[in-house]
Amino acid sequence: MKILLIDNNDSFTYNLLHLIKSVCNNNDSVEVCSSNGITEKKLADSTRIIISPGPGTPAEAKKFHKIIRSYEQQIPILGICLGHQIIAESYGAVTYNLTRPAHGIQSEISITDHTDIFRGMQSNIMAGRYHSWCVSSENLPDCLKITAADNAGNIMAISHCEYNIFGVQFHPESFMTDYGKIIMSNFLNLNQL
């Protein structure tokens, strides 16, 4: 397996890399690539794409929309935090600024779909959050489904209804998140599930 981890200049990227490597097989390779250094060859050679957290807003990362839409049928894609928001916006969802940022907090997340990346997990988990933007549930495109939410109803995870494309608002690599290894392992092993 060739995993491409796209780094959006975030301090959590190497924590994410550590998590990925902790669930990989010895023959798997992981390449970290700056969001400014993405090439068609790197994308086409990958068997998994992970879009990291990062500063800024998804509106500033519109170049990802073409990447996601170009590879949606061939390569499973996971977006984390900003990556999750980018995936949502690439399909027409809207993001909004939270009135109260969720920076460095742990909160309960309710999982509503136990397939794919949430397979084998209980319905309520604790998750580490570091974000001030969120995907709006209003007018969510029909191709996306909500797979987890917080107690206030904020979207915490989505998946595409047809393709292996997933987004999580919370940070699976955070020490505050339960089951981070299971989430990552489930994503990396999608074809074997």
In CATH, what number is assigned to the domain containing residue 108? 3.40.50.880
Mark whether 161 is an active-site residue. Answer: no
Number of domains composing the chain: 1
- pLDDT tens digit sequence for 61-116: 888 899 999 999 999 999 999 999 999 999 999 999 998 888 899 999 999 998 89
Confidence of residue 60 (pLDDT cuts 50, 70, 90): confident
Concerning whether 171 is annotated as a catalytic residue, the answer is yes
Exactly one of 72, 89, 134, 173 is catalytic; which is it? 173
Catalytic residue among 81, 84, 89, 131: 81
81 classed as catalytic: yes
DSSP string, the chain: -EEEEEE-S-TTHHHHHHHHHHHS-TT-EEEEEETTS--HHHHHT-SEEEE---SS-GGGGTHHHHHHHHHTTTS-EEEETHHHHHHHHHTT--EEEEEEEEEEEEEEEEE---SGGGTT--SEEEEEEEEEEEE-STT--TTEEEEEEETT--EEEEEESSSSEEEESSBTTSTT-TTHHHHHHHHHTGGG-
- How high is the pLDDT of residue 191? 78
Report pTM. Answer: 0.95
Residue 192: pLDDT over 70: no
Domain of residue 50, residue span: 2-192
